[in-house]
Structure 1
Amino acid sequence: MLVGVALLLLVAIALPGGRARAESYIEAPRVTAALQQGHAAEFGVGIRRNLLLAVALYCDAGTMGSPEGFFRVGRVLASAPRPLRNPALANAYLALAARLGHHEAIRLYDSRVASAIIGDECGLYGSSADGTRFDLDGYLAGQSSAKQRIALLIRNAARQYQIDPRLALAIAIAESNLDAAAVSPRNAQGVMQLIPATQERFGVTRPFDPEHNVRGALAYLRWLDKRFAGDWRLIAAAYNAGEGAVERYSGVPPFAETQQYVRRVLHFSGFATRERG
């Protein structure tokens, strides 16, 4: 049985274009952001090392379409201390990454261990990670000087627009990890990932200028804040899926990406921690 699984993995890697797919895959800004945040949690860059949070963030990247995200889930689960360590589940995620074209996954796949069946582990890891406090200031201190300047710009502008800076920063981190040059496959642009329609709506003429982009995003957040009576869950959901979707479902829409996005934003902002206090 184990030999059969290993052969399937080798076939997946050897399929024409399999390796090329992995190497040519362009991560969307939200995916890249989740991978970068997972790296910070895994290796303690700016924040305390937290492998559970790292797995949750890598899972988010994977479920948004990233082979690298699933590969990193498998890598962490294969080597983490107990109780997080799970070789059988690690194999399952490595196999998934390989099927998606990640050519390094086979190197870590352990043919001596039977693969587990993947269920809703990513959702469980995410829910468990929510119980830990995210050190927003520490995380920002671990970023480049250019990103720290953008974070300061967001803090100052958020106060002017009467938006909690933690919410604004959490959205910027979830959207692009403070990358002013980010462009998504749907043509969302800049640090706060504004689509052209939102740029036009809030007068943003230079989307790759951090100040223009941030001020347009904060004007939008101020509008959402009034529309949804300051409810951070609904504000974050609307920023991701549109206010129409939030109103249509009378709450956070049942879209996996939106639900993950809301969870990430609230975790980064410290919202859940304040609720429990």
Structure 2
Amino acid sequence: MSKPLAHATIVARRSSERGYAEHGGWLKSFHTFSFASYYDHRFTNFGSLRVLNEDRVSPKNGFPTHPHRDAEIFSYILNGELTHRDSMIKKGSEGAQGKDFFRMKRGDVQFTTGGTGIAHSEQNESLKPVHFLQIWALPWKTSLKPQYHTRSFAEESKRQAFVPILSPLAAGPDATPAEEAAAEPKIPETIPIHADFVMGAGIIAPGSTFNWTVGAGEGVVSKTKKRNVYVHLPMTKNGKAKVRLDDRDGMVLEEGDGAFVTGVNLGDSLRVESVGEVEAEVVVLDSD
């Protein structure tokens, strides 16, 4: 059993305090950080974490084609389906994950490096709503070559422990074009990101505890002291899921809540205990 992190500061970001927007009756979006029409100077980024939106899109609706530059953008699907199309991938040419590679389902993570410029659309082409997290990170350098990745992560694995989802590109900021094309991540079986950033996800049964190792272990991240870890509990269980962080009585997160964890170092173990009525799906965003 890990000990509480006495040197860590943990500050809750309550769901009710997030920005919120509805667009045309088809999109409901909560914003942890300043985004579009929502601005709060206190919440512009957290380390290289720049955007954390919790979105619901109605059936047969979505985001039309729009451009992005110099951002690492990824979607974590919680429920439903989301169809991603962009200026690099054409329907019918989607690659290794098969014919429906472009259609993301629960368990899928879609990742785009905006770099020098890419245009994409995200549409709910199904007959049911889709619920997902859209997350942006600031890359370690600008004008990167656009990249695109999608990967599925098993539900069973997430019920055993936190599963790494993204980790830094192994070749680092000075990667050659060949190393960029190879797209090898620091942690095998994860999606490579152009940032000193690790993402993990877990599904924690009531009464159980998972431990997040800050920096995801030796040799993964560059910054080893005073990392920034954001923990988010999505709104997936009608308010029945709750977690307690670091065994602190005053640090219970309800659905939609998050927490800023600062002052932690590589190798620290952050306890996340499920204290609600049902299992809790937790996302951890660990950055420089």
Query: Larger % of strand: which?
Result: 2
Query: Larger % of helix: which?
Result: 1
Q: Which has the higher contact order (CA 8 A, sep 6+)?
A: 2
- Tell me if TM exceeds 0.5: no
Choose 1 or 2 for highest CA Rg.
1
- Normalising by structure 2, we get a TM-score of 0.28
